Amino acid sequence: MHFPSRVARGFLAAAAASFVLSAAFAQNSTSKMSDGIGLVANDKADAKDIGLKAYPGARPYKDKDDDSSTATLGMWGRSSGFHMSMMKFASSDGPDKVADFYRKELAHYGKVLDCSDPNAPRGNKGNELTCDDEKPDKGELTLKAGTKQNQHLVGIERKDGMTMFQLVHLETKSTD
């Protein structure tokens, strides 16, 4: 799946830059990022980490045999950092059915954005979540809900007769 990987790389680059530039400022902790300095990287994540239920009947999906279907990555300092958890799944149900399920799940976190919609909010709007510059490729769908500092994302695509999707929870903190 191309889109969520691009999103993850973009978030990681932005979060890492923010971490390096502002690690020496005042404290502002979140649930996954403790005071002090820390780093976490592993192949473990579950529905509790993501904050979204697994789609009924979906099975974990790996891009390659030596990949993991889950991952957690985080880096934080006293005033900035990020924590990201991700899970990949496959389902024989169609993308629309999976998307409908996750629209309802994401609604628990606020307004649900469909980043494949050309009218979706973009750009910097303070703490408001936007689709930034993300435009999923044809046949891909990206849904987001939450805030810039606490995002829940779902990336969906149809491939080889299956619906592949990734669930992502991204927390960031910064003095900006």
Count Cβ atoms within 10 A of the Cβ of residue 56 and give its class: 0-12 exposed, 13-18 middle, 19 or more buried. Answer: exposed
Q: What is the pTM of this model?
A: 0.76
| Mean pLDDT confidence for 34-47 | 75
Tell me: pLDDT of 112 over 90. yes
Reading the block at residue 4, the tokens are: 């969520």
Residues above pLDDT 70, as percent of the chain: 78
Tell me: pLDDT of 149 over 50. yes
Centre a 10 Å sphere on the Cβ of residue 110 and count the other Cβ atoms it contains.
15
| Mean pLDDT confidence for 10-38 | 47
Residue 26: phi, psi to the nearest 5?
-60, 160
Dihedral sign, CA of 136, 49, 147, 100? positive
The pLDDT value given to residue 175: 61
